[in-house]
C-alpha cells in the first residue's frame, strides 16, 4: 500500500485546517502529518493529543524521554529522528539523548525511572507490575504523570505504526538526527 504525503492543497478538505496550523507551528509541514492527512480523523486526533500535551505534568524533556523510549522500542526511525531534534530544542542533555538513542540506562535517576516505566508499559502491554509502579512513584512521579505517560505511549504508537506502514521518509529538517535501529528490522 502506497501513501501520499499530502500538502494543504492535495489533502482532503477536512484535513486542511490541521495541516495549515501544523505548518505554522513548526515552520514546515512534517511528512508524518502529510501522511496522516489522508484521514481527517487521524490527523486531527494526532494534532489534538499533541496540543493537549502542552498541559502535561511532564516537563518537555520528560515528554521526549517517553517519546524516544517508545519510538526506539518500536524501531521507528522517523520518530527517532524527529524527536531527537525536538529533544535538542527543549535542551535535553546530550548524554541523555545519546543513551535513549542507544536504548541504554540513564544516569539521571528520575529520568531513568521514567524510561523504565515506559519500557514496563510496553513490555507488559499496560499490565505494569506494582513494583514498577512503586519505583516510578518513588522517583517522585504521581498518578497524573502516569496518565500523561500513557497518553504519549498512545500517541507514539499511532505515529510509529503509521510510519512503518507508510514508510514515511525523514524530513530534511530532522536529517541531522537520522537514526538506525540496533535491532533487526522486520521485513
Residues 33 and 125 in one domain: no
Residues 91 and 127 in one domain: yes
Tens digits of per-residue pLDDT, 14-54? 999 999 999 999 999 999 999 999 999 999 999 999 999 99
DSSP string covering 131-155: HHHHHHHHTT--HHHHHHHHHHHHH
Q: Please, what is the average pLDDT of the chain? A: 96
Tens digits of per-residue pLDDT, 121-151? 999 999 999 999 999 999 999 999 999 999 9
Question: 183 falls in which pLDDT band (50, 70, 90)?
Answer: low
Domain holding 139, by residue range, is 58-177
Residue 187 lies in a domain: no
- Cα distances (Å, whole numbers) of residue 24 to 47, 94, 96: 13, 28, 29
Residue 1 lies in a domain: no
Residues 30 and 64 in one domain: no
Region 62-78 average pLDDT: 98
Q: What is the DSSP letter of 101?
A: H
Residues 93 and 105 in one domain: yes
Residues 124 and 156 in one domain: yes
Question: 185 falls in which pLDDT band (50, 70, 90)?
Answer: very low
Residues 74 and 27 in one domain: no
Tens digits of per-residue pLDDT, 80-128? 999 999 999 999 999 999 999 999 999 999 999 999 999 999 999 999 9
- From CA 100, how far away is CA 113, in angstroms rounded? 13
Residues 38 and 107 in one domain: no
Predicted pLDDT at 186: 39
Residue 140 lies in a domain: yes
Residues 128 and 49 in one domain: no
pLDDT over threshold 90, residue 187: no
Predicted pLDDT at 4: 97
> Domain holding 155: CATH number?
1.20.1290.10
Q: How many domains does the chain have?
A: 2
Amino acid at each position: 500500500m502506497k501513501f501520499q504525503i499530502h500538502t494543504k492543497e492535495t489533502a482532503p478538505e477536512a484535513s486542511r485546517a490541521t495541516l495549515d496550523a501544523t505548518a505554522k507551528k513548526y515552520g514546515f509541514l512534517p511528512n508524518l502529518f502529510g501522511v496522516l492527512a489522508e484521514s481527517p480523523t487521524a490527523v486531527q486526533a494526532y494534532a489534538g493529543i499533541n496540543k493537549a500535551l502542552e498541559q502535561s505534568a511532564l516537563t518537555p524533556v520528560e515528554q521526549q524521554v517517553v517519546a524516544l523510549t517508545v519510538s526506539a522500542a518500536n524501531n521507528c526511525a522517523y520518530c527517532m529522528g524527529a524527536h531527537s531534534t525536538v529533544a535538542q530544542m527543549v535542551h535535553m542533555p546530550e548524554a541523555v539523548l545519546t543513551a535513549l538513542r542507544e536504548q541504554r540506562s540513564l544516569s539521571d535517576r528520575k529520568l531513568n525511572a521514567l524510561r523504565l516505566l515506559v519500557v514496563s508499559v510496553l513490555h507488559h502491554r499496560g499490565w505494569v507490575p506494582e513494583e514498577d509502579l512503586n519505583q516510578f512513584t518513588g522517583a517522585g512521579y504521581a498518578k497524573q504523570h502516569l496518565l500523561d505517560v500513557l497518553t504519549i505511549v498512545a500517541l507514539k504508537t499511532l505515529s510509529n505504526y503509521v510510519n512503518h506502514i507508510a514508510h514515511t521518509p525523514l524530513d530534511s529538517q530532522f536529517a541531522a538526527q537520522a537514526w538506525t535501529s540496533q535491532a533487526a528490522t522486520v521485513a
